[in-house]
Structure 1
Amino acid sequence: MIEVKREAITKEIVDQWFEKWEELREQIHEAHEARSKEAARLMEQGIVHYEQLLLQSAAQAATMDDQFELYPVNGKERLVFIKMKPGQYACYRQLDELFKETKKRSARLRLKK
């Protein structure tokens, strides 16, 4: 398991990651409401953003094949599901939940370390 780098999960740094996600989330939501194919492209940006969060918070060099301490429950499996069909609304909801749960997990890890 790839442990988290404590200085990479400070509240300020985590908040910056989630501000960017909020902007993307709103765009994805609007694209889904309009039934636009743009949703899939925006979701791919969101997936990359989530993966960057994991990789940059890792205490050592890692790849997305690794299991991260920062993952919420079933995080790796859920991310695989999302990547299979990023244009689906269910995948958007799942990615949003992954971001929320990862934010909570980072707060717990800050207190634990």
Structure 2
Amino acid sequence: MILVNKEGITKEVVDAWFNEWEALREEIHAAHDRRDGSALGFMEKGIQLYERFLVKHSQADEPFSENNKYEVMPINGMERFQFIKMRPAQYACYRQLDELYKETKKRCARLRLVK
């Protein structure tokens, strides 16, 4: 398991990361409402933002890998993330990614209390 770097999950850092997601989330939602296919590009940005957060705030110095288990990810998070990456243009994957962000934010708060 790749452990989280406690300094990387301060409330301020996590809130800034989540706010960046919130802006993307609104774009993705609007794109799905328009049904013009533009959601894919925004979803790819959201996926990259999530991966960067995992790598940047872990204790390991290695690139993101779906074979790793990250302490900061919620239960069955990697399986859900793989599902999202396979079909990023689907609305169900957008909803799943939104939930993954919310659950990761909560997990960061729990890890701050424990460590």
| TM-fit CA distance, 1:67 | 0.8
1:9 corresponds to: 9
Cα deviation, residue 64, structure 1: 2.1
Alpha-carbon offset, residue 28 of structure 1: 0.1
Measure, in 2, the Cα distance between the counterparts of 1:30 and 1:36: 10
The 5 A counterparts of 1:56-95 are 56-62=56-62, 63-65=64-66, 66-95=68-97
Tell me the distance in 2 between the aligned counterparts of 1:14 and 1:46: 15
Alignment match, 2:101: 99
1:46-83 Cα offsets, whole Å, 9 max, x none, are: 00000011111101213323110001010000000000
Give unpaired runs (5+ residues) of structure 2. none
Q: Which runs of 5+ in 1 are unaligned?
A: none
Moved more, 17-26 or 58-67: 58-67
TM-score normalised per structure 2 = 0.96
Aligned residues of 1:72 and 1:101 also touching (Cα < 8 A): yes
- Structure 1 SS opposite 2:40: helix
Contact 1:51 1:64 in 2 (8 A): no
Look up the match of 1:109.
111
Root-mean-square deviation (Å): 0.7
Q: Give the length in aligned residue pairs.
A: 113
Q: Deviations over 1:16-49 (max 9, x none)?
A: 1001000000000000011121101110000000
Q: d(CA) in 1 for partners of 2:22 and 2:43?
A: 12
Matched, 1:44 2:44: yes
